Structure 1
Amino acid sequence: MMLRLEKATLGKFGAQDMMGLITSRGWEAILPDALDDNHLLLVSDQFRDLLSGVGWNGDHDPARAALPLTLLLLSKAGAKRSGDSLEVGLETLQEALCLLSTAVDREIVNRMLQRQDTAPIGTGLIQGLQMLIQHAVEQTDSECHA
């Protein structure tokens, strides 16, 4: 085992903590390259749970930030809102979770290797989410006209 981490020492990263970051530093504060090490590791773990089906069992855990973080970034990337809700298909949400999980893990590895990507990870992430949303909109439009 080369790299090891005691998860219990990391603390928690929940929706409240996330909102605190946004309030003090703006929504960009929750992009992977802006999160501190602890939050980055915690949210990576949360994405893994979501992608493996753990955490989809209906009970909303307020101690977890991954899902609200994903929805907020989707809205920033242009997902359609109706009233207070966000119109995002499950497929788009699943793809967004994969994209975010990959971006978060990439940022973790970059920090460990002390490497820097030429473009900030957060920028690429938002562009990727915008493409996802655009694709979903085009799919919906073509289904409507079929």
Structure 2
Amino acid sequence: MMLRLEKATLGKFGAQDMMSLIMSRGWEAILPDALDDKQLLLVSDQFRDLLSGVSWNGEHDPTRAALPLALLLLSKAGAKRSGDNFEVGMETLQEALCLLSTAVDREIVNRMLQRQDATPIGTGLIQGLQLLVQHAMEQANSACHT
């Protein structure tokens, strides 16, 4: 095996850690290209769990930042809020998780290969999420008018 990492040495990256980053450096601090190596690897692992259904147990797990991170970035991309809730369909959330997982993994590979994309990964991610939210809102509106 070429690349190997001992997960136990990484520690944790949870919702509280994510909030600390946001409080000290603003919401952009949770974009993939702003996270440090350990945070990036932990969040990649968490997205894999979410996408495979491992942690859809419905309980809020404070040791995991992936879902709150996805919801926060969706809100920054224009997802509507009603009170304390987001109006995001499961399909949109699933697509957002895929986009986020891909962006995080891309950032990991870029760091390993010492490469950079023409468009910073965080910028491309927000643009992708904006398109996703826009498309979901258009679908919802056209469904209301039929």
TM-score normalised by the chain length of structure 1: 0.99
Deviations 1:87-131, CA, capped at 9 Å, x for gaps: 100000000000000000000000000000111000000000000
Structure 2 distance, partners of 1:14, 1:74, is: 18
Query: Residue 121 of structure 1 aligns with which residue?
Result: 121
Structure 1 counterpart SS, 2:32: coil
Query: 2-side partners of 1:12 and 1:40: how far apart?
Result: 11
Work out the CA distance in 1 between the residues paired with 2:143 and 2:83.
24
**C-alpha root-mean-square deviation of aligned residues, in Å?**
0.5
Q: Give the ranges of 4+ consecutive aligned residues of structure 1 lying more than 6 Å apart after TM superposition.
A: none
- Residue in structure 2 matched with residue 94 of structure 1 by the alignment: 94
Q: Per-residue CA shift, 1:11-65, capped at 9, x if unaligned?
A: 0000000000000000000000000000000000000000000000122211000
Q: Describe how 1:56-67 pairs up with structure 2 within 5 A.
A: 56-67=56-67
How big is the shift at 1:78? 0.4
Distance 1:21 1:111 in 2: 21
Give the Cα–Cα distance (whole angstroms) in 1 for the partners of residues 112 and 45 of structure 2: 17
Q: Where does residue 4 of structure 1 map in the other structure?
A: 4
Letter in 1 for 2:71: L
Count of aligned pairs: 146
Once the two structures are TM-superposed, the CA of residue 66 in structure 1 deviates from its matched residue by 0.0
- Amino acid corresponding to residue 100 of structure 1 in structure 2: L
- Return 33-42 or 50-59, whichever deviates more: 50-59
Following superposition, the deviation at residue 84 of structure 1 comes to 1.4
1:48 corresponds to which residue?
48
TM-score by length of 2: 0.99
Unaligned runs of 5+ in 2: none
Structure 1 runs not aligned, ≥5 long:
none
Q: In the aligned structure 1, how far is the partner of 2:135 from the partner of 2:8?
A: 40
Q: Which amino acid letter does the alignment assign opposite residue 45 of structure 1?
A: D
Match of 1:71 in 2: 71
